[in-house]
Amino acid sequence: MQIDIDIYTVKKLVPLRFSQKVEVSDQIAIFRLSHEGVTGLGEVAPFRYYGIDNSWTALEKWFPRLKLLEEFSPLQRVLIDNKLRKLGVPSAILAGIDIALHDWMGKSLGLPLCDLLGLQGMPYPDTSLTIGINDPSAAVARLNSWLELGPTRLWKIKLGSPDGLDADKSMFEALADSIQTTTTKVYVDVNGGWNQEQAFHMAEWLKPFGVLFLEQPLARGEETQLAELSETSALPIYADESCLHTDDIRGLVRGAKAGCHGINIKLMKCGGIAEAIRMIVLAKHHNLKVMLGCFSNTILGNTAAAHISSLVDYVDLDSHLNLVNDPCTDGAVWSAGRLIPNGLPGLGVSCL
């Protein structure tokens, strides 16, 4: 099996600000795994928080070592994953390889990945569109620019402003005036930007607006407080940064109780499609709701997640819709507020 790696810088149409930073552009890698005339595509998008280093600097050091994949067949996906995990390869690289191997298999068999996984005919959840932290007028302008894509049924509002709760409230109220005139639903993502007292207060304040849930109100490392908040909060609590992979789900669950009401799975965090499916099964076993999310992924990374999105409750796969220069084309189609695979073999994505 041959591996080729192409590197791109992708730029955002609108910078995305959340509690920890502002994202304007990112470097990403596209893996091309070729065997017997078929090439599978996978994506690597960086992330870094709370000491978990999948930054671009950390990732690119591993690229030369991936030549070891040449001794494997694409049919040895489990052996490949075991080997790379023993070496300590970052999860974003594991995801890129896993995605490419799934794409290769689907293309080899002439089947879309979702069909290969037995998901044909399953309904797709709504995909949320994200509005980052901003002043009220700019936030409303972003909402209106998103609507140029067509109707949507789900909004993700980033709160946790460094300027405090008053800034969060002002922005949210401005957006609510526009959103409440429609039947669209809303949830709030805080990216660990509040403390426990603030989160409790804001859950009470947001509930009358019909907010569905709060995503990651507290920082990773505060899972005990997150569990306490989940027991008393006026809104359900979802874990994102506190839940990277199956081991984190186990850490959130104590006996018959879970320390949250739902989780956000991202392929880059967990290491790919195979691990994401394991997380979905484990989460459902513990009666947790499940969301599929993204980082600064292209249509390739988001399409990979879309192929398994019929297994989850919520979808947040909008990052490619905010890219000026996505190096990939085709893939899952944005249609009436949902991201739906296009029916082509594998992932159905092409890259430059």
Note whether 28 and 167 are same-domain residues: no
Residues 300 and 314 in one domain: yes
- pLDDT tens across the length of the chain (352 residues): 999 999 999 999 998 888 667 889 999 999 999 999 999 999 999 998 878 899 999 999 999 999 999 999 999 999 999 999 999 999 999 999 999 999 999 999 999 999 999 999 999 999 999 999 999 999 999 999 999 988 889 999 999 999 999 999 999 999 998 887 666 899 999 999 999 999 999 999 999 999 999 999 999 999 999 999 999 999 999 999 999 999 999 999 976 678 999 999 999 999 999 999 999 999 999 999 999 999 999 999 999 999 999 999 999 999 999 999 999 999 999 998 999 999 999 999 999 8
Residue 289: name the closest of 251, 252, 261 by CA: 261
CATH number, residue 269: 3.20.20.120
Residue 33 contacts by C-beta under 8 Å, 6 or more apart in sequence? 1, 2, 3, 39, 40, 42, 69, 74, 97, 100, 101, 104
Q: Do 273 and 131 sit in the same domain of this protein?
A: yes
CB atoms within 10 A of CB 245: 17
Please say which residue of 82, 111, 140 terminates a domain.
111
Query: What is the DSSP secondary-structure string of 1-70?
Result: -EEEEEEEEEEEEEEEE-SS-EEEEEEEEEEEEEETTEEEEEEE--EEETTEEE-HHHHHTTGGGGGGGG
Report the alpha-carbon distance of residue 160 to residue 162 in Å, rounded.
6
| C-alpha 317: how far from chain center | 6
Q: Are residues 93 and 161 in the same domain?
A: no
> Of 59, 86, 111, which residue sits at a domain end?
111
State whether 293 and 345 are in the same domain: yes
Measured between its terminal Cα atoms, the distance across the chain in Å is 21
Say if residue 104 is in the same domain as residue 151: no
Total structural domains within the chain: 2
- Asked if residue 287 and residue 328 are part of one domain, the reply reads yes
Instruction: Quote the DSSP letter at residue 209.
Output: G
Q: Are residues 119 and 23 in the same domain?
A: no
Domain co-membership, 144 together with 104:
no
Q: Tell me the two tokens of residue 179.
A: 């959103």
Model confidence, pTM: 0.96
Assess whether 43 and 180 both reside in one domain.
Answer: no
Q: Using CB atoms within 10 A of its CB, is residue 254 exposed (0-12), middle (13-18) or buried (19+)? A: exposed
Domain limits for position 222 = 115-351
Whole-number Å distance between alpha carbons of 92 and 55: 9
Residue that is last in its domain, among 52, 84, 111? 111
**Residue 296 and residue 255 share a domain:** yes
CATH number, domain with residue 13: 3.30.390.10
**Residue 58 sits in the same domain as residue 131:** no
